[in-house]
Amino acid sequence: MKGGGDYDIGDLTALLRKDQKPDLDGMVGRVIDGFRFLAELTDTERALAADGAQKNRKEAAALIEALQKAR
């Protein structure tokens, strides 16, 4: 998924004006750069991100406290 080869350029082109040509490699690169931090999450951060029911409140509170102390 590093480049634009995994995407349907026709679908993307349909969303643009007729005079626009999508820079798929550039867009994919910006998304990868912008969301790179997701690959660097700690185990606790991953668990909290996956906790849609918000059952891990103690872990969340501990992480918030640790982040505030790190300021």
Please check whether residues 10 and 29 belong to one and the same domain: yes
* Residues 13, 15, 17, 18, CA torsion sign: positive
- What range defines the domain where residue 64 resides? 42-70
Does the structure show a pLDDT above 90 at 35?
yes
Please check whether residues 33 and 51 belong to one and the same domain: no
pTM of the model: 0.61
The 10s digit of each residue's pLDDT in 49-65 is 999 999 999 999 999 99
Please check whether residues 34 and 49 belong to one and the same domain: no
Domain total of the chain: 2
d(CA 24, CA 5): 9
